[in-house]
Amino acid sequence: MMLGPAVIKQCFACSKPIKQNTILSGNTFGAKFWTDGKREAPMLPDQPWLVLCPHCHVSLWINELQPLGEGTPWCEWDSKFMDAFHYDLPSLDDYFSLLEQGIEESGKEQYLRLRAWWAGNDLRRNQETDIPMSAREASNLAVFATMLDESDADERVIKAEVMRELSCFDEASELLARAADEPMVEIIKSLIEKGDPYVRQIHFNETPTPKAPIKQFNVVMTRFGANRIGVIKAIRALTGLSPIAVKALVDNVPATVREGISLKEAVSIKNKLKEAGATIKLQRYLEA
């Protein structure tokens, strides 16, 4: 992942500076894809449209704010930008309260409803047990469905997924009956057949090779914990990466610290980073 210049924007409410990192290039290495369309890609972070001011917590459409300046991501800031913190992300409640206030532009309303859907589903991702949707989430989804254009092939598939998650399995399969024969459509169809209304992770090209021993692993940091500096030092010692690269990695968790290494080496790195306070998981390495 290559970071672009960090852009400094100004909050319209409190006038304080806010930092927006930009990304020049990334990839979907280690990414997780979900049936609701959300992608979690450590090497290609989400670029949200609606964010929260880190100072006064007002909601901001970040691309509508005037830039105050920009710099390389980790440079010494101009002293007037010293308190330029990175923006925060809205919670499920934030999206709902904005929707209750009413949004005039339908593009923005659609965005908020999509993000509210994803934020609600975030509680369901990577969970052992299935958590049913709240009434508030369901009514948001029902309105979101009306905003989707069935004549557009992609939106029709999204609408089918919305209907499946609302347990309207008949409507969902009707929408998919005319859909193209693509992996996503097949996955939603098989979930409909099982009567499964929950968001699910999509495993593209899942070809299990049970006989081949798994030799290659990735070390993924999911949290750096309270001792950020200690973790940065430990990663530098373990990887030989430059300070800039290590800081970018730490600031973009979950992030892959090392990839395609032996289990023994992966466990040793994991233990050292855990000692420094980071939360680490090992992941199977898949060649791109």
| Positions in the binding site for Zn ion (CB under 5 A) | 11, 13-14, 53, 55-56
Residue whose CB is less far from Zn ion, 31 or 56: 56
Residue whose CB is less far from Zn ion, 11 or 133: 11
Shortest distance (Å) from residue 192 CB to Zn ion: 44
Residue whose CB is less far from Zn ion, 53 or 65: 53
Shortest distance (Å) from residue 18 CB to Zn ion: 7
Residue owning tokens 């923005």: 108
DSSP state, residue 141? H
Outline where DSSP puts E strands in the chain.
2-3, 6-10, 17-20, 23-25, 32-34, 39-40, 50-52, 59-61, 67-71, 85-86, 201-202, 217-223, 255-261, 279-284
Shortest distance (Å) from residue 69 CB to Zn ion: 17
Q: How far is CA 144 from CA 64, 123, 180, 208, 226, in A?
A: 24, 19, 22, 37, 39
Residue whose CB is less far from Zn ion, 53 or 246: 53
Using an 8 Å Cβ cutoff, are 266 and 230 in contact?
A: no
Residue whose CB is less far from Zn ion, 13 or 263: 13
Shortest distance (Å) from residue 60 CB to Zn ion: 8
Shortest distance (Å) from residue 17 CB to Zn ion: 10
Return all residues near 232 (Cβ < 8 A) that are at least 6 apart.
243, 246, 247, 250
Using an 8 Å Cβ cutoff, are 7 and 20 in contact?
A: yes
Shortest distance (Å) from residue 65 CB to Zn ion: 10
CB atoms within 10 A of CB 116: 24
Residue whose CB is less far from Zn ion, 60 or 248: 60
